[in-house]
Structure 1
Amino acid sequence: MLQTFILIDEFPLARHIPSSSSSSFMLESSKLVQESAPEAMLKDMGFRVYTVRESKELSMTMSKAKADALLLAVPPGQVEPWRTQALAQRSLPVFWWCDSQTFPSSECKLDPGIDGLIGPSMSPLEVHCALLLGVNHYFQRTEWLQEREQLLSKLEERKWIDQAKRILSEIKHISEAEAYDFLRKQAMNERKRMVDVATSIVKVYQLLQAEHKGGRKR
C-alpha cells in the first residue's frame, strides 16, 4: 500500500481546512503556517510527504525519495506539465488535490492521466478508498499502455517485413510466401530477428533506389 507521497503544491502554505472535515484533520494555527492542507492531511493519516513547489526541485526530490505516489495540488492547466515532468523520471500513480484553489468551479473533472482525486472535505476512510481505487486504476492503465506499445511495435515490425517481402518478390521474381521463407531462413542463419533482417533489406533497397535516381539526374 502507499506510504510515501511527493506533493507538488503551487499554492501558499496556509490553506483553510473546512470545519466539515474530520476532526483528525484540524490543525493548530502554528502548524497550518508550516504545512499546506494536502501536506497536513497526508501526514495526519500517517503518510510520509516530500513537498515540491518549484520545477527545479522535482528531479532532486524524486531521486532521493522512494515515493509510492504523486499528489498534484496545482491548477488544471498545470496538471499535465507537472505530470509529464515527474513521470519522465519514474512511473507512479498520480492523484490530484481538488479544492477551491486548484479548481475554483463547483465540479472537479478527472484528467485522463490522473488516477484519482482527493480533497479537504474527505474523511480518512474516503481518502483511503480513493487511494485504493486510484492505485488499481494506475495498474490497469499501465497494463493497457504496455499492451498498446507491444501492439504498435508488432505493427511496426509487420510493416518492415511486408516491405521486405515485396522487395524480394520483385527482385528475385518469387512469391511473397517464398520471400517470407527466405527472410525466416536468413534470420536463422544470421541469428537475428526477422524484423532486423527485413529492415536491413528495405533500407539498402531504398538507398540503392535513391542513388540510382540521383545518378540519372546527373
Structure 2
Amino acid sequence: MHSLLVIHNSLTANEPAAGSPGRPDTVLRDCGYLVEVAGTEEEAISRITEADASILNLPITEINHWGMLLMQQKTAPILWWCTDETATLSVTACEDNIMVDGLLAPSMHPQEIHWSLHFSAKQCFERQQWMKEREQLLSRLEERKWIDMAKGILSKVKNISESEAYDLLRKQAMNERKRMVDVATSIVKVYQLLQDQT
C-alpha cells in the first residue's frame, strides 16, 4: 500500500491548520505515503482509482455514505481518521453498521500506521469475500423458494408427492436445457396467472 486518498469536509478541512502535524495528509506523507486530498464527491471519485486506500477525516455519521460511494468506484480499504473533531458524537453513533476497515489517529507512530493499513487491507478483502458469499447464499435461497413453490403446485395439480414433483421439475429442466429454477419460476408464474383469471 503506497498511495492514499484523504477525504475531508468543510468542517475538518482546516482542523488543524494546513501543514500542521495533526493533519492526516501531513502525518501520512511523513510516513512515506503518496497522499491525495479530496473535499468533494467529484474529487474523490476522480482520485480513488489511483489510491490503495481511503482515509475518511469525517464525522462518524458521514462514513457510511462515503464508504458506499467509494466502494462503488473501487474495492479498497476505508479507514477512519479518529480525532476530537471527528469523534464528537455519542457512542450510539457507533452502533450502526459502520463501513470501515480500520482506524488511524494523529497520535499513532509510523509503524502503527503501517500495520493498521496492512490489517485494514486484509479486513477489506475479507469483507468483500463475505459480501459475495452472502449474495450467493441469498440467491440460492431465492432459487430454493421458487423450486419449493413449484413443487407444491405440481403436487397439488398432479396429485403426486413432493419428491415426485421435484423429479418432474428436474426432468423438465433437463429436457428444456434450462436451469431448474427457471422452469420452477415459469410454473409458479403461469399458475398464479391462471389463479388470477379464475
Select the residue among 19, 37, 56 that pairs with 1:32.
19
Give 2:82's aligned residue: 98
Q: Unaligned 5+ residue runs, structure 1?
A: 17-30, 213-218
- 1:109/1:123 CA distance change after superposition, 3 Å: farther
Which entry has the higher C-alpha Rg, 1 or 2?
Answer: 1
Please provide the CA RMSD for this pair. 2.5
CA distance in 1, matches of 2:90, 2:179: 56
Secondary structure at 2:152 match in 1: helix
CA distance in 2, matches of 1:204, 1:7: 54
CA distance in 1, matches of 2:157, 2:89: 66
1:80 aligns with 2:64: yes
Give 2:165's aligned residue: 179
Q: Unaligned 5+ residue runs, structure 2?
A: none
Give 2:4's aligned residue: 5
Secondary structure at 2:7 match in 1: strand
Letter in 1 for 2:193: L
- 1:184/1:12 CA distance change after superposition, 3 Å: same
CA distance in 2, matches of 1:48, 1:207: 61
Give 1:15's aligned residue: 16
TM-score by length of 1: 0.79
Post-superposition shift, 1:168? Answer: 0.9
On the 8 A contact 1:13/1:36 being kept in 2, the answer is: no
Deviation track 1:165-199 (CA, whole Å, cap 9, x = no partner) reads 01111111211111111111111122111111111
Deviation track 1:11-51 (CA, whole Å, cap 9, x = no partner) reads 234626xxxxxxxxxxxxxx717x98111222222222221
1:198 aligns with 2:149: no
CA distance in 2, matches of 1:36, 1:85: 26
Aligned sequence identity (%): 45
TM-score by length of 2: 0.87
Q: Extract structure 1 runs of 4+ deviating beyond 6 A.
A: 105-108
On the 8 A contact 1:8/1:73 being kept in 2, the answer is: yes
Post-superposition shift, 1:136? Answer: 1.9
